[in-house]
Amino acid sequence: MATAVFFHAHPDDEAISTGGTMAAMADAGHRVVLVTATRGELGEVPDGLLGPGETLSERRARELAASCAELGVARQEYLGYGDSGMMGEDSNDDAGCFWQADVDEAAARLAAILDEEGADVLVAYDEHGGYGHPDHIQVHRVGMRAGERAGTGRVYMATVNRDHMLDLADRADDVGVPMDDERRVFLDTLGERAERITTAVDVRAYIPRKRRAMQHHASQIGDTSFFLSMPIEAFTEVWGTEWYIRVDSTPAGPEDALVDPGT
């Protein structure tokens, strides 16, 4: 059995990007560890959602715990940095935010967990964090450095298959995916082209759990959101495969899992 460490930026990213893979690996007997860089305290929150005296970071911590239970996560740790907010916001300049973190220092924190766990697999993000969020970009930088420091055997970048998403956009009406001009333009720079992707994990069998994990993050992913408003058939089209780019070596052919069969 293997130990896989998934490194994400905020609570809810684990469910959206890699939830199906995490659940599948946990069910197969692998140890799944989640490291979250920030507590997501700068996320938007609907009016009236928080209770008296409750902070968003407290709510998101509870949501993350529920998501981890749903996905079979054996251990979850925070890396200890503040949420940076969206690119270009004043919060990007806060000294304690993840975007401002010293990459070597942050990588040392993550590498310590990799060493403690004896991690066989590390998952971070692609170079632009999928869509350009500063904390996601920093997850890539820190994750790649930590994998080198710890000598982790397999290192992957979680990404999105841009060609697949563009194809779905072209067929949006037929498959029931909500689409407008702004979202269509967003897809032009989302993730990576199919030719760069080395690993495609079929998670259709885990769609109910992936969807429930998203629902646990109700402060950020409401029932009327893009993620949850589509019918289950369309949701499966969008989220039924999770894509990765292997960076420690070039596989001999397309991979369908983060560990070899029989591991």
Structure tokens at 2: 């293997």
Q: Where are the domains of the chain?
A: 3-242
Q: Which helix (H) or strand (E) holds 257?
A: none
Q: Mind listing the pLDDT tens digit for each residue in 86-96?
A: 999 999 999 99
Q: Mind listing the pLDDT tens digit for each residue in 109-166?
A: 999 999 999 999 999 999 999 999 999 999 999 999 999 999 999 999 999 999 999 9
pLDDT at 47: 85
Structure tokens at 214: 């998203």
Residue 202 pairs in a beta bridge with 241
Architecture of domain 3-242: 3-Layer(aba) Sandwich (3.40)
User: How far apart are the C-alpha atoms of 192 and 195, rounded to whole Å?
Assistant: 8
C-alpha Rg value of the chain to the nearest Å: 17
Where do we find the tokens 């998203």?
214
Q: Mind listing the pLDDT tens digit for each residue in 161-191?
A: 999 999 888 887 877 788 888 888 788 899 9
3-state helix, strand, coil in the chain (%, to 5): 45, 20, 35
Check if the beta carbon of residue 79 is closer than 8 Å to that of residue 109.
yes
